[in-house]
Amino acid sequence: MPKRTYSAVRLRQTAESGDLVLFAAPATDIDEWSGVPQRERLGSNTEAIGFQREESPKRLHELAAFFSNGNNVIQNPLLCASRDPSRVTFETTGDDANTSIGSLTVDWEDLKVLPLVELLRRVRTSLEHRLPDLASMKIDDAKLARLKERANFNHAEMAGPTAGDEPDDEAAAAVPGEPSEGGDSEQPATSVLFSGETHIADFWEEVAARIQLLEESSAGFDDDSFLGFSKEAMISYLQPIVVVDGQHRLRGAILAAEQAANSEALQPEVEAAIDAGRDVDEVVDELRRREARLLPVSILMEPSPAEHVFQFVVVNQKATPIKPALLGTIVATSLSAEELEQVSERLEAAGIPLEDSQAIAYLTRHPDSPFKDLVEKGLANEGRPDLLQWNVLGSLVRIFRELKGGRLFGEKNDYADKWRRSQLEESEIVAGAPVDQSKFEYWSRQDGPWREVFITFWTAVRDRLATTNDKDAGNYWGSPRSSNLFNKISLTILAADFFQYMTDTKRRIDDIEDVAKWVDEWLEDVKTTYFSRDWKLAGVKKDAPGTRAQWAYLWVQYRKDPQQLPDLRTFRHQKAG
């Protein structure tokens, strides 16, 4: 097992904080013992659970050019964290009041030589360590069938043991935690309580399904990738050290070393070594290591995934902010509920909108949500070019959860707030509030009644006013750039007007069935063709204040007396302020 030791300094910033170790290592060394878990798509529709952004080739080449000049220096260190205290150790040789001088030793396994199925097994085991309930979960049969079809295995390759065959004990022993067929204790992975940690359960199921398919195949499999899951991606979850910040600097330095090793200036040295009988790959690798620059590293000696995500989020939000969609996706789905609890107060105190992110992420993933898979998550490859913006869904969530912001464009009245003041307290849906919470606190908590009301309301609106089949229709539920309905302005108008109706008619919500009933009343006699027509908006700036106010005015006037649809030309007008 490879091992490296580096001169280092250990310090602790406060009595409560974990140890930091500062040292320097060649970029090629760091590449061998560290992992960069990226938030990326693996295959067609699987989202990884890493928290790093995907690499930018343009930035890598810019950094490689920078590093190729020996006079250039980058002072800020790579920020790393230990995953395995048994393999990342510090030994002191001397102390002063605040620091310890000594050496850091990293030992690691060459995971690249392992087959993909073994890497997948190890990733699965690490996920089960984080969420022990996963070990008893059963893979969904429909998922297995879909993956089998994608893999295009023939029947002979994918067939399992025939009736009467004994299972292979050695193969079974190689897959710790794999559930057997049958048994009352088995349940699909998706039966895990739907929360932020459901994404971890979904990822586990994708990993476990691929393991099962590879083990059922009678043919040996030695490729580096299977159904979108690569050895490189799996290794990033298994290395003893994780790169929290600085992946582009690391990759840029490695690229610069590779370019130097293959440069014309070093070709005579390579040719001389080959003439002496040495292997060319071995020579180039040696030169690559020699040319790699020394990079400063700050490593947090803390193996908790929660701490790793906390450090990443704070660094990137406070230094170079990342897009709200990716930030929210990472915060809400990279950790289990227990792990998130460890850092939730610190994230909130650091100004990270944790609860908002959790609420939005829930609605983008829950199978009952009409917004599932229709909202951006901040990934480099979203799978669809036209998605509702993360912050638009966030603004809709706040109208229902906080009961604020329910204003029709061009008006001052906040109808959501007015409904809260006039009807919420009397609504039976909040009658179950515990004695230590107000009814509004109960309504608006993470899993409060607001969430089911939100899902039920928008599902009813979609089913009543939209189509989910015709992407070219003006009332298509999706594609906010082209849909007259599924966009920030129209969705906000509908939410605000619903609360206006609820306020005007003094409607309470006693149970969830009331929501669909009030939607039916609110939209009585409204024609679906209101949104499905071509509004002829070429050249119109939809988010202009006058346009928003005009659309709000047209909708409310029509909804209150839906005898005649508005003249299409009026959607291009701007209402005077």
pLDDT of residue 228 exceeding 90, the answer is no
Mean pLDDT of 422-434: 95
Contacts with 406 (C-beta within 8 Å, 6 or more apart), sequence order? 399, 414, 415, 416, 417, 418, 419, 495, 496, 499, 500
pLDDT of residue 303: 86
Q: If you count them, how many residues does the chain have?
A: 577
Task: Tell me the CA distances in angstroms from 223 to 42, 219, 231, one per residue in order.
Answer: 16, 12, 9
Mean pLDDT of 478-483: 91
- pLDDT tens, residue by residue, 359-387: 888 888 888 999 998 988 755 544 566 88
Conformational region of residue 177, where left means phi above 0, alpha means psi within -120 to 50, and beta covers everything else? left
φ, ψ for residue 300, nearest 5 deg: -90, 125
pLDDT of residue 341 exceeding 90, the answer is no
Are the C-beta atoms of 291 and 261 separated by less than 8 Å? yes
Highest mean pLDDT among 84-93, 166-175, 211-220: 84-93
% of the chain with per-residue pLDDT over 90: 45
Task: Tell me the CA distances in angstroms from 9 to 6, 18, 76, 137, one per residue in order.
Answer: 10, 14, 16, 44
Grouping H, G, I as helix, E, B as strand and the rest as coil, residue 513 is: helix
- pLDDT tens, residue by residue, 515-533: 999 999 999 999 989 999 9
d(CA 31, CA 78): 12
pLDDT of residue 332 exceeding 70, the answer is no
pLDDT of residue 33: 95
- pLDDT tens, residue by residue, 487-499: 999 999 999 999 9
φ, ψ for residue 162, nearest 5 deg: -80, 170
Contacts with 147 (C-beta within 8 Å, 6 or more apart), sequence order? 209, 210, 213, 227
pLDDT of residue 6 exceeding 90, the answer is yes
Which two three-digit tokens encode residue 171? 């193969």
pLDDT of residue 401: 95
The rounded mean pLDDT for the chain is 82
Q: What is the pTM for the complete model shown?
A: 0.57
β-pair partners for 42: 46
Task: Tell me the CA distances in angstroms from 88 to 27, 105, 237, 245, 432, one per residue in order.
Answer: 17, 6, 16, 18, 50
Grade residue 349 by pLDDT with cuts at 50, 70 and 90: low
pLDDT of residue 335: 62
- pLDDT tens, residue by residue, 438-447: 999 999 998 8
Contacts with 287 (C-beta within 8 Å, 6 or more apart), sequence order? 260, 261, 266, 269, 270
